[in-house]
Chain A
């Protein structure tokens, strides 16, 4: 299938369109809100929240017998918030550290959810079928109604994020300053955390509780590499989130027997890897190239410095020197000829034939400017 056919299918095929829209919604929401989570070092909080949501989904179903998205998402959100509160209580009222508290909340809530799920599954009642897709997610099970609910909740969360943008920015970067301005930082903290829960909850049906946390971390981590500006970062994270959501959901709905969660996570991870390597300024390739450039620059300047010192000793800037001398001064680190050629290109040295090199007038002047303060190269 080529791109055009894909696009055509996307617009005409009901299932595919629903899946793509749902995945895009969850990607945009979790990407944008994940930005704040990552900057506030709460990347693993998402992990705990999404695992903690499982018993909420099951209990909501047990209480109402309904599998409509707003009921299940509501249950998940309540459980996610309860999990977060438990985490706060544990770290606040005991000496247990955050990492252990995260582990406890994550595993105990999840274990409890599994217990309830298996309890339901062994009762002869077919209505619970499909609840286990919440483990790894199944985008293909999304209905148009589900996507509407996701869109409303996700859109609401994003809207609130935009309304309180400045406050959330302050909360993330300088909480104390915010408090000194008289802003209700605790309330803002609660609000932002709740929005994060919403972002996670709307993705559960498509991506699953086990891997939803990656949708909070990965797009934000990728976006962080490309920019230092919060607004741009959130925008990029939303785009990356949507790309992974749509890409992953499409791939999994064409392949047989593939849960959506793992595929979405792999697409997101791919975006992270590309960003880590290729992003300008911060990226690994970029910084390796810059380091290389600095090293070369340093080598060239060392040679210029050595020529300058020799010229000083001879009291004659035009005095020609053997390459071998320069190489010896350079402690045989190599690259001297190369550096001389570079300097010659810049018109700072000239070759006086036969492996003899001397400074030019401008080379002498530039070297004086660079080194006359007695600094060493």
Chain B
């Protein structure tokens, strides 16, 4: 495999691994927890490194994941004192832990492959140089690690799919059925922490947030089904990964930053054109509803006066501007639409309901 293919492969695997737990974070309204965790896992890495003096050790992942869970517990502990609100608790805990990590690195870990820029940026471009041989196949280290994380995430979600789904959409029912919300919560947080550590090397702390939250939020606009949302999230993440790589190659810029940028670009596209929930679809639905509402109002208006002496006056198109407070242009356009829809017929300047129109008015009034 060439380096370019390998990097894209890693990008896709990272994106997929992040996008899966991201879906649950978005649905459970805990997106900012990923921000906190992705920062504090650094402290876990640093502390474990000080104990083991080895940056390759698999224990690093464990130590970092543990720190992620510690972060969540600290936030909840602080929140539990009721002295600060939850958002402030998050905003207090992770900068402090992250600061400790950055200071420890700059003070005691000089010359080690651990510096605060790498922490934030990550550098995928170098990933193919660091290789492992697994079962006789020579693979980049990051690819092996992230594939492991991805498989772990898939297994976790597959095994506890029902539980996660229930606890996410109906926490009360889940608790009634004997599913501990605490266990589900911490299980998910552990998975988020492990994913953050794994992705850390490749994309850096803050971009973990981009890969977790942005594709999942875009997916949330595309579907109402959890299975589909997971699928869309992975797909959008992978697309950001590949397109981010090419953007970075074109600009000769940081790959992770470009991937995050692409998640944003894809999000904006989805935000605008998503069927049903996109801004464009929303605007069109609003416009259609405006016309439909006006048309119904017109039908009711005519039906109301039908057969009364005032009808000759009320049925005139110009009269609509006074009685219904419609602009003349709007009234004219509306009448044309209503004619096309078979709600009214027009003779000269007078309007008459069709049978269809009468039915529409009666139906609406009977609600």
**Residues of B within 8 Å of A, CB-based: how many?**
61
Would B84 and A224 count as touching, CB distance under 8 A?
A: yes
Q: Within the complex, which residue of B29, B30, B107, B206 is in contact with A107, where a contact is CB–CB below 8 Å?
A: B206
Main secondary structure of the interface of B (DSSP, over half): helix
Given contacts A44-B87, A276-B83, contact A103 B213 (CB under 8 A): yes
Would B116 and A116 count as touching, CB distance under 8 A?
A: no
Main secondary structure of the interface of A (DSSP, over half): helix
**Cα A1 to Cα B260 with chains together (Å):** 47
**Cα A42 to Cα B95 with chains together (Å):** 16
Would B217 and A104 count as touching, CB distance under 8 A?
A: yes
**Cα A90 to Cα B99 with chains together (Å):** 31
Chain A's nearest CB lies how many Å from the CB of B270? 10
A81 lies within 8 A of chain B by Cβ: no
Would A221 and B88 count as touching, CB distance under 8 A?
A: yes
Contact residues on A (Cβ < 8 Å of other chain), bracket? 35 or more
Q: Tell me the nearest residue of chain A to B102, going by C-beta.
A: A262
Given contacts A96-B220, A211-B95, contact A111 B257 (CB under 8 A): yes
Contacts of B71 in A (CB 8 A): none
Would B116 and A259 count as touching, CB distance under 8 A?
A: yes
Chain B's nearest CB lies how many Å from the CB of A236? 15
Would A107 and B213 count as touching, CB distance under 8 A?
A: yes
A229 lies within 8 A of chain B by Cβ: no
Q: Tell me the nearest residue of chain A to B247, going by C-beta.
A: A115
Chain A's nearest CB lies how many Å from the CB of B33? 8
Q: Which residues 85-99 of A have a CB within 8 angstroms of B?
A: 90, 93-97, 99
Contacts of A107 in B (CB 8 A): 35, 206-207, 209-210, 213-214, 260, 263
Contacts of A43 in B (CB 8 A): 85, 87-88, 90-91
Interface centre among B102, B106, B214, B264 (most CB of A within 10 A): B102
Given contacts A51-B206, A118-B253, A118-B257, contact A104 B117 (CB under 8 A): no
B296 lies within 8 A of chain A by Cβ: no
Would A262 and B103 count as touching, CB distance under 8 A?
A: yes
Contacts of B210 in A (CB 8 A): 104, 107-108, 110-111
> Can you list 9 A-B contacts with CB-CB less than 8 angstroms, sorted by A residue number?
A96-B220, A99-B29, A102-B31, A103-B34, A106-B206, A110-B210, A112-B261, A112-B264, A262-B103
Known: A103-B31, A114-B260. 16 other contacts (CB 8 A): A93-B282, A100-B216, A103-B35, A111-B206, A112-B261, A114-B254, A115-B247, A117-B257, A118-B257, A122-B252, A211-B99, A213-B91, A258-B107, A259-B116, A263-B103, A265-B96
